[in-house]
Amino acid sequence: MEIPAVFIGSILLGFMNRRFLFSQSAYIAGISCLICIVFSNVGSKRNSAGSWGQLIAEGIGFMAASTAFDVMYVYCVELFPTNVRNFAVSMLRQSLMLGASLSPMLVAVGRMRPSLSFLVFGALSIVSGVLSLWLPETRNTPLYETLAQQEEEEGRLVSSVADDDAGLELAQ
């Protein structure tokens, strides 16, 4: 499921905003995990290992998580200026490895209570999608060389928006 997700994500990155694509992918992954809770509870009542519905929900969730993962790398590279970009990407990689080292423990807990691991993965995916909405959009924006250059450009943008707002108030 990861190969189609890479192709779909690459195509979507060409014409969608990065922040929106990441948050929607995280939402879909989280909702798919929460849907799996329903199927795991139904499957446990029938003494079954799962169902086709759960398998489909897991596949959709895995594709969405893979898309979010790929978009996150592109987004992180575009978000930070050149002089801190390597550090930011390495911190992203370290946090991903921390999550990868903790996830087998959740899978082990999921063998005893399947709904718990789906709940944790789903809730964290949805929370990351919500938190990403506060980040700035990076599509069609320049890649800055230094933090000072980025702060200067963002300050210029904020002051021009404030001047436009003040002009509108005076006109009314």
CA distance 8 to 97: 24
User: What is the CATH code for 2-141?
Assistant: 1.20.1250.20
* pLDDT, tens digit, 9 for 90 and up, residues 112-163: 887 888 898 899 999 999 999 998 888 887 777 777 877 787 777 666 655 5
Task: State the average pLDDT over residues 79-105.
Answer: 88
**The two structure tokens encoding residue 89:** 């990407």
- Look at the pTM and tell me if it is higher than 0.85: no
- Residue 162 CB burial class (10 angstroms; 0-12, 13-18, ≥19): exposed
The secondary structure of 47-116, three-state, reads CCCCCHHHHHHHHHHHHHHHHHHHHHHHHHHHHCCHHHHHHHHHHHHHHHHHHHHHHHHHHHHHHHCHHH
pLDDT over 80 (residue 44):
no
The domain segmentation of the chain, as residue ranges, is 2-141, 143-172
